[in-house]
Structure 1
Amino acid sequence: MNSPRPALRADARRNRARVLAAAQEAFADEGPGVPLDEIARRAGVGAGTVYRHFPSKESLFEAVVLDSIERLAGQAEALLDAPDPGEAFFGYFETVAEQALLNKALCEALESTGEAMARPEVPEFHSRLGELLRRAQESGAVRADIAAEDLPALLAGHLAIRRQTSRGAVARILVDGLRP
């Protein structure tokens, strides 16, 4: 029988929070290729402290990405009762794209189908995005033939377009294709 993991001491909690904040910044700036030593330096801790909390750089990357996705899911939930469902959906779609474009780690995660994207936080994000889609479709703001399952691919395509061209017209064509 597994016993519950002991609570972290206050200094360990602070160090973990510092590592996560530094990793968030480093991954956003440089993507997943940033060296672990650089994250430790930004956090003001040794590499051993980072490894005590996160056994690998991949687990640290996953924790940072999941935190970002959890925050995005919370933003979507706040929009579920918006008076204009179409505006809420399209505004949120753009918000996700903007945040992802400013954060290489989040952008790469949203464009992938890796193991991290199967975590419980991710389906919650997709579920809320799907609910925003459903409400927008019911209001007539979004085409009825778009399924919630299509949204990850549409979002990934939108991100790829935005990363490849500075011409906003190309990205608007994709978004306009969602309208009836």
Structure 2
Amino acid sequence: MRDEEAINQLMLIHTSLLFRIAYYYTKNLHTAEDIVQDVFIKFFQMDIPLAEHEVKPYLLKMTANKAKDYLKSWHYRKLILQEKWFLHKTMTEKDALVQQDEEEEISKAILSLPLKQRESIAYYYLEGLNIKEIASLLQVPDSTVKSRLSKGRAQLKEKLKSIEWEVLLHESI
């Protein structure tokens, strides 16, 4: 069993990254928290010796796999059906969203991407992983990651082009 100080240090270093990764997949804060907690529990129970440089990719892979398992689960599919029903109901009541922050718009656009493009965009731009690291994590060729990034960028551009960006309205040319 690993000592408590090492466990705390690993959790301190990796929790926020793993949480963001889980959130990119699930789009739900509580589910992402549960996934990260489960990943750490499983990791510490396995008690396998890993070098410091091997821990991060291992935890990332565990988190991605756990999140993907959740997306395949009956609980998730049931939740999606309930959300669609609720969204339809609130839209018929004509609840309008007032104005959204530019960061929220970008986040929503990223979260609306298909999973393959979303994970590549998130790993590359939000987590700073390079193409080789992403390819290794997802177990796909580098060219596949490049293709997913390209498609994701094109979809984001299309989704975000109609927004009047506050920052650009006040820019003098």
> TM-score if structure 2 supplies the norm length?
0.35
> TM-score if structure 1 supplies the norm length?
0.34
